[in-house]
Amino acid sequence: MNFISIATLTLLLVLLLVVLAKKGKKITDYMLFCIIAAITGYVISDILININYNQATFTFRHIAGYLPFLPIFLYGLLITSSDHRIHKSWWIYFIFHFIYYMFIIGEVYIWNDYIIDENRKMNTDGLMYHFFFKGIHIYMIALLIWFLGKLKNYHDKIQHYYSNMDSVDLSWFRYFLLISIFNYSASFTAMVLSDIGLLTQIEFAYLIIRISIFLSLIWMFYHGLRHHVLANFSEAESKIGSSKKYAKSSLTEASAKELFERINELFINESIFHNPDLKVQDLANELGVTNHNVSQVLNEIAGKSFYDFVNDYRLNYFKEQLADPQKRRFTILALGMESGFNSKASINRVFKQQLGITPRQYQQQILAS
């Protein structure tokens, strides 16, 4: 166990140096540093408790074990917020953690329910023990499930601002949360099974869970460093979605139709969809209107988000290029990039979502006909 902990600690220290060495650090990079630092503290507590098991190491271990959750959850709130700033009101999400930490200190140093024996545990017969040790797992799982809904809202929102979402997409963070929910659920289940005597090798079970947690954190660290663009939402125009939102809009039905025609003219005559970095703000600036106006028109008249509207034009143009005999000397990727897509992944994703087949399969069907 000590060998694994020391190896893990070495890797964590390397990761800390990687973050510190990164140029042009953003607030999210500093949050990643806090996450790795918190995990480092947890690993150190694991090493110390195996070297010298006493009140101090016990307390440190049971506080450090749940500490990484705080910067991880704060990181998620930060990257999905409209202004990408830490808000004082967010402390409410962590109140149970603070109460839990007070409980641990109280158990060890005040109420003396701490027992030094070969089992290395506190008094597990009390109701408070079960409330806090089981409760903190349930609380973290509930918060993560709630945050999955927040991520879905974020994904829906960026479709109204970006025509290419690769740089601001948070699917990787969604996968991380799902794995985290599994890990915390597994830890909770192992704890319950151990309490009722159905799991005798709980340390081995926890070792597997720790490895899973660590691998998922490496996944998050890798994608977190690569996630160099934070979605830029206008505070005044960030609530896009239902028709109720546009109830107070200054656009009349006639002016909305006129604006929609102007939008289509830009796409047909000037082919602005070729710009892979096209954003709703660019379109609004070109037309001399607001983001709100553009989004309203596309939602109410076209029945599409900005993302879907732009990529429909790109897809139709891309299909024409694939069907053009004179363009067969070019690669599919080159034709896709010319159409306005910014990566092979985005080309395949949009194509399969709309047509259910890959660009290559589509081209083969055209050639066979």
pLDDT at 114: 59
Give the C-alpha separation, 365 to 301, whole Å.
33
For 108, the enclosing helix (H) or strand (E) is helix 95-109
Is a pLDDT exceeding 80 seen at residue 75?
A: yes
Give the rounded percent of residues in the chain with a pLDDT score beyond 90. Answer: 41
pLDDT at 355: 87
- β-partners of residue 114 are 122
Is a pLDDT exceeding 90 seen at residue 338?
A: yes
Lowest mean pLDDT among 63-72, 100-109, 174-183, 240-249: 240-249
Between the CA atoms of 165, 19, 49 and 1, what dihedral angle is there, to the nearest 10 degrees?
70
Would you give the DSSP letter of residue 340? T
Asked whether 42 and 68 are in contact (CB, 8 A), the reply is yes
The pTM of the full predicted model, rounded to 2 decimals, is 0.83
Chain centroid, CA 182 distance in Å: 16
Helix (H, G, I), strand (E, B) or coil at 114: strand
Domains in the chain and their CATH numbers? 2-226 (1.20.1070), 244-368 (1.10.10.60)
With CA atoms as reference, report the closest residue to 2 among 36, 35, 51.
51
Is a pLDDT exceeding 70 seen at residue 239?
A: no
Give the C-alpha separation, 249 to 245, whole Å.
8
pLDDT at 99: 95
Give the residue-averaged pLDDT of 227-240.
61
Chain centroid, CA 325 distance in Å: 42
pLDDT tens column, 156-204: 888 888 988 888 889 899 999 999 999 999 999 998 898 888 888 877 8
Other CB atoms within 10 A of residue 308 CB: 18
Contacts of 237 (CB under 8 A, 6+ apart): 290, 291, 292, 295
Geometric angle at alpha carbon 238, from 232 and 240, rounded to 5°: 130
Is a pLDDT exceeding 60 seen at residue 47?
A: yes
pLDDT tens column, 123-147: 555 678 788 889 999 999 999 999 9
Asked whether 340 and 279 are in contact (CB, 8 A), the reply is no
Q: What is the DSSP string of 45-100?
A: HHHHHHH--SHHHHHHHHHHTTSTHHHHHHHHHHHHSSS----GGGGGGGHHHHHH
Q: Supply 255's token pair.
A: 């002016």
Backbone torsions φ then ψ of 84, nearest 5 degrees: 55, 45
The model's confidence at residue 243, banded by pLDDT at 50, 70 and 90, is very low
Q: Which residue has the higher pLDDT, 98 or 326?
A: 98
The model's confidence at residue 264, banded by pLDDT at 50, 70 and 90, is very high
Q: Which residue has the higher pLDDT, 313 or 82?
A: 313
Is a pLDDT exceeding 90 seen at residue 241?
A: no
For 217, the enclosing helix (H) or strand (E) is helix 202-226
With CA atoms as reference, report the closest residue to 283 among 161, 176, 180.
161
